[in-house]
Amino acid sequence: MVSDTPASDGSASIWSLAGRLEKEYTTQEFDELCFDFGIELDEDTTKDVEEARAKGLPTPPPQLKIEIPANRYDLLCLEGLSRSLRIFLQKEQPPAFTLSIPEKIQEVYVESSTSPLRPYFASAVLRLARPMNQLEYESFIDLQDKLHQNLCRQRRFVAIGTHDLDTVEGPFRYMCKDPKEIKFAPLNKEEEFTAEQLMTVYETDRHLSRYLHIIRDAPAYPIIYDSKDRVLSMPPIINSQHSKIVAGKTKNIFIDTTATDKTKLDIVINMISTMFAEYCQIPFTIEPVKIHLPDGTSHLSPPLAPRSTTASSSYINAATGLTLSREEICTLLTRMSLTASPSTSDADALDVQVPATRPDILHECDIMEDAAIAYGFNNLPQSMPTTNTVAKAFPVNKLGDIIRKECAMAGWIEALPLILCSHDENFAWLNRPDPGNYAIHLANPKSLEYQVVRTSLLPGMLKTARENKALPLPMKIFEVSDVAVQDPKAERQARNYRRLCAVYMDRKAGFEVAHGLLDRVMQILGVPFIEKKDNEGKYGYYISSADDPTYLPGRAAHVYYRPKPNVTPSDPTPSDSTTASPLNTIASTLKSALPSSGSGSGSEVWSRDINIGSLGILHPSVLGNFELTRPCSALEIDVEPLL
CATH of the domain at 401: 3.30.930.10
**Gyration radius from the chain CA atoms:** 33
Domain boundary, last residue among 320, 352, 379: 379
H or E segment and range at residue 143: helix 134-149
What are the counts of helices (DSSP H) followed by strands (DSSP E) for the chain? Answer: 17, 30
Residues 462 and 353 in one domain: no
What 8-state DSSP symbol labels residue 213? Answer: G
- Asked if the structure places residue 128 within a domain, the reply is yes
- Asked if the structure places residue 151 within a domain, the reply is yes
CATH number at residue 206: 3.50.40.10
Domain boundary, last residue among 301, 323, 340: 301
- Asked if the structure places residue 601 within a domain, the reply is no
Domain boundary, last residue among 44, 70, 89: 89
- Residue 454: name the closest of 481, 475, 490, 435 by CA: 481
Q: Is 411 left (phi over 0), alpha (psi -120 to 50) or beta?
A: left
Query: Which ranges of the chain have pLDDT less than 70?
Result: 1-16, 61, 535-537, 566-607
CA distance 618 to 175: 58
CA distance 545 to 560: 11
Residues 498 and 368 in one domain: no
Tell me the pTM.
0.67
H or E segment and range at residue 272: helix 262-275
- Dihedrals phi, psi of 229, to nearest 5 degrees: 60, 30
Reduced to 3 states (helix: H, G, I; strand: E, B; else coil), residue 141 is helix
Q: How many domains is the chain built from?
A: 4
Residues 198 and 330 in one domain: no
Q: Is 94 left (phi over 0), alpha (psi -120 to 50) or beta?
A: beta
Q: Half-sphere exposure (CA, 13 Å, Cβ side) for 94? A: 22
Contact 357, 271 (CB under 8 A): yes
Residues 287 and 315 in one domain: no
Report pLDDT for 587: 45
- Residue 453: name the closest of 463, 438, 465 by CA: 438
Residues 418 and 477 in one domain: yes
Angle between helices 78-88 and 326-335 (to 10 degrees): 150
CA dihedral of residues 536, 538, 540, 543 (deg, nearest 10): 30
- Asked if the structure places residue 388 within a domain, the reply is no
What range defines the domain where residue 16 resides? 8-89
CA distance 531 to 316: 64
Residues 465 and 538 in one domain: yes
CA distance 54 to 444: 59
Residues 519 and 628 in one domain: yes
Angle between helices 78-88 and 27-37 (to 10 degrees): 80
CA distance 593 to 595: 6
Report pLDDT for 144: 93
- DSSP states along 37-71: HT-EEEEE-HHHHHHHHHTT---PPPEEEEE--TT
Residues 228 and 263 in one domain: yes
CA distance 642 to 640: 5
- Asked if the structure places residue 286 within a domain, the reply is yes
Contact 517, 452 (CB under 8 A): no
Report pLDDT for 23: 80
Residues 410 and 478 in one domain: yes
CATH number at residue 47: 3.30.56.10
